[in-house]
Amino acid sequence: MRYLKFLPIIAILFVACSQNEKLGNNNSTSVNDSVISKPNLKLNSDIMTAEVLWSFGRISEVQLSPDKSTIIYGVTYYSKEQNKGNNDIYSLNLKTKVKTRLTATTFAEFNAVLKPDGSKIGFLSTETGESQLWEMNPDGTDKTQISYIEGGINGFKYSPNMSKILYIADVELDTTAIHKYPDLDKTTGRIMTDMMYRHWDNWVDAYSHIFVADYNGKKLSNNTDIMLNEKWESPVRPWGGMEQIEFTPNSKKIAYTCRKKRGVEYSKSTNTDIYFYDLETKETKNITKGMMGYDMQPVFSADGKFMAFSSMDRDGYESDKSRLIIINLENNEKTDLTANIEQNATNFIFSNDGKSIYFISDWHATDEIYSVNINSKEIKKITQGVHNYTSIIEGKDNLIATRVSMSNPAEIYLVDKNTGKDTEISFENKEIMSQITMGEVKSKWVKTTDGKEEFVWYIYPPHFDSTKTYPAILYCEGGPQSTVSQFWSYRWNFQMMAANGYIIVAPNRRGLPGFGIEWNEQISGDYGGQNMKDYLSAIDDATKLPYIDKNRLGAVGASYGGFSVYWLAGNHNKRFKAFIAHNGIFDLEAQYTETDEMWFANWDLGGAYWDLNNKIAQNTYKNSPHRFVQNWDTPIYVIHSDRDYRIAYTQGMSAFNAARLRGIEAKWLYFPDETHFVVKPQNGILWQREFFSWLDKYLK
């Protein structure tokens, strides 16, 4: 029986800290009922609910002290009652394992960075209403504001010699309607003359610029905009962060990622480059000129002789192979360290001795830690298991890494560099995990219609009984080039689905990385093609199992997964009894001129729908889900958000209206304040309740 029908089943008491941690000396705000802290959960059942899911602590921004004795990191907790989350900063002594909460206030503290000498922790705080740079002692005492930048700042880094700080801040450079017509000071109108006026979840009213300032340990001064007041941005929208910007080890230059294009040209290109800005001469140099795809994430060796960076080969293809390139800064020679593998390389760092680079790579639906020797280019796989690593730092004797899986939220681990054995050290969610029974996760290879093999995950309900029969859900992945790996999601959580009595079938269909370049690239220009057959191969194979009821099947998905659901709704031959599509593409022709990033539409769809001589594009639009609505015969739940500018909410509205006009049972859940994702606690819980009430109605 599903326990969501009897909410609430838990009582949540917010406390200052758990028994295995202590609270640092905080001189800001005392801990009280308005402070969002780790919940002290006492569950009435071992089955996960939406409230439990939103109670997990979310670890981020792990950093290591210069003496390698302590890590600092952020943890975010959410409050259903306050309908928001709050991030605080923690430290963990690697020897004593003592955890200390360094901040505990009603405002957010984040982006914690240790000074190069370890004497202070810099962090951003919203205490004054704007995000400003503050510092505190490593024990959490003596919090002092350092920056007083109008409008606030969004990220920062110390120079290695601690004489300067770089920070990023938004700069308005476009003329608005109010600027043009000062007497219309209350107008809300926007005037557009070119593309990229909005991106993913925001209207582009400002540009993220890099500033450098002198730093004396007390206050920033002599702030300089190194972007020269031009309409460039760094970091690059929409997901870029401080990993795209770095000081050189001698503190004389700043390396930054930028796409120096505007308007239509910007919307069609992924050609970002890494630039060096010389703090003495004020000169800017393009270090990756002539490299046509994404070039980003500059990382320097300790001696400053080498820079590693991530690079894609082809302009306009955002899902190209992420290569690990190293450049010798003395002779400008570039070497692809991952030329001999068909895998992406991400989250890389130089080893302490400078002889190798550690990186994370996905292969066969897990993300593991690898190393590559700079000279020999020999690649070694360090870890192996049913999990995903998401970040790595090298300590004295071990690697320090964050790890997740379908059955565990992110925690911090020590990883043996030679054996790959890992040991958890953070235990942020130990209390909740000890009370929850997770379903078993299995995998198998399934034969596809063209004779190949696809990797499929199965997630079983807790207390699974093979003598009974269960309804099953086909999970359709988004991206589209995004591996169905061992991720932990706070919306598309497989254990949450399984806890409601469903077996989840999650295939790595065509168009996903981690299975070779050919497998990944097959989907481009073939939406509605082989990858859809792969979905059907996976679910048809699953129904051969005696405990899966083939008469109680549902299909769900978001983004490209939502497209997949819409397409399957018109082509499933009565396999499914219910559908759920979240922020999916319904009409590909409308999508082409509604979306923001034209490089994505041009590459994956094949081009414009008005190009009648383009056979690839015309085949794509011929297979648009809206062209099969006449075949719809199954109840469908449509979910879409207003602030999703990648896939406009009108796509969901059109799908819902089409279903109702066809007489199909349908619902539409509309979020006016969410984006491509649902991030507010009460919206997230509503999402979960509606998700399962719909599936239960038709599958149970």
Question: Alpha-carbon distance 112 to 157, whole Å?
Answer: 10
Question: Alpha-carbon distance 577 to 174, whole Å?
Answer: 51
DSSP string computed for 617-636: HHHHHHT-GGGGGGG--S-E
Question: Alpha-carbon distance 677 to 682, whole Å?
Answer: 13
Distance of CA 2 to the CA centre of its chain: 30
Encoding tokens for residue 162?
């601690």
SS3 266: helix
DSSP string computed for 100-131: EE----SS-EEEEEE-TTSS-EEEEE-TTSS-
Taking each helix axis from N to C terminus, what angle separates 615-622 and 598-605, rounded to the nearest 10 degrees?
90
Question: How many other C-beta atoms lie within 10 A of the C-beta of residue 600?
Answer: 20
User: What sign results for the dihedral spanned by CA atoms 72, 348, 342, 356?
Assistant: negative
Helix H segments across 530-582? Answer: 530-542, 560-569
SS3 501: coil
Residues near 631 by beta carbon (within 8 Å), at least 6 away in sequence: 569, 570, 571
Specify the residue for token string 């190798």: 356
- Please give the helix or strand (H or E) that residue 159 lies within, else none: none
Q: 618-624 long-range contacts, Cβ below 8 Å, gap at least 24?
A: 619/525, 619/526, 620/525, 620/526, 620/527, 620/528, 620/588, 621/588, 621/589, 623/527, 623/528, 623/529, 623/567, 623/588, 624/528, 624/586, 624/587, 624/588, 624/589
Active-site residue set? 559, 644, 676
